[in-house]
């Protein structure tokens, strides 16, 4: 079976750095994806880690440790527009379907 754990809520101020952790248990692990979803909107892809280590894309970075079944999303120089839900989603199964956790609601305060 699959299980994912993320914090349900995180609050930070503009300009700060925040880390959203994800621990997982999946069968046939391929990697870890991260998606962002604003209220009322569609999820959008942020990053994907196939291998251990850090992937950097602008203000966002994502990290994976396969041995620890753990990953995190790091958001730097927070902006108000970063207020959204963030989901870790490992692909699994023969079709590499995404399994989404319940997500982390990030609130950025002025």
Partner 1 sequence: IAGITQAPTSQILAAGRRMTLRCTQDMRHNAMYWYRQDLGLGLRLIHYSNTAGTTGKGEVPDGYSVSRANTDDFPLTLASAVPSQTSVYFCASSDTPGGGSYNEQFFGPGTRLTVL
**Which residues form the interface with partner 1 (CB under 8 A)?**
30-31, 33, 41-45, 48, 50, 87, 91, 95-103
CB of 104 to partner 1, least distance (A): 10
CA distances 16 to 25, 40, 42, Å, are 30, 25, 25
CB of 110 to partner 1, least distance (A): 25
Nearer to partner 1, 16 or 45 (CB): 45
Nearer to partner 1, 41 or 53 (CB): 41
CA distances 66 to 24, 34, 100, Å, are 10, 15, 18
Tokens of 35: 């998606």
């Amino acid at each position: 079976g699959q299980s994912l754990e993320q914090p349900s809520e995180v609050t930070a101020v503009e300009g700060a750095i925040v880390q959203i952790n994800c621990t997982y248990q999946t069968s046939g692990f391929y990697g870890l994806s991260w998606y962002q979803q604003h209220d009322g909107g569609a999820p959008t892809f942020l990053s994907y880690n196939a291998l251990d280590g850090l992937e950097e894309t602008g203000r966002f970075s994502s990290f994976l440790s396969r041995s620890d079944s753990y990953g995190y999303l790091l958001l730097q120089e927070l902006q108000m527009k970063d207020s959204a839900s963030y989901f870790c989603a490992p692909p699994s199964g023969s079709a590499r379907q995404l399994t989404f956790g319940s997500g982390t609601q990030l609130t950025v305060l002025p």
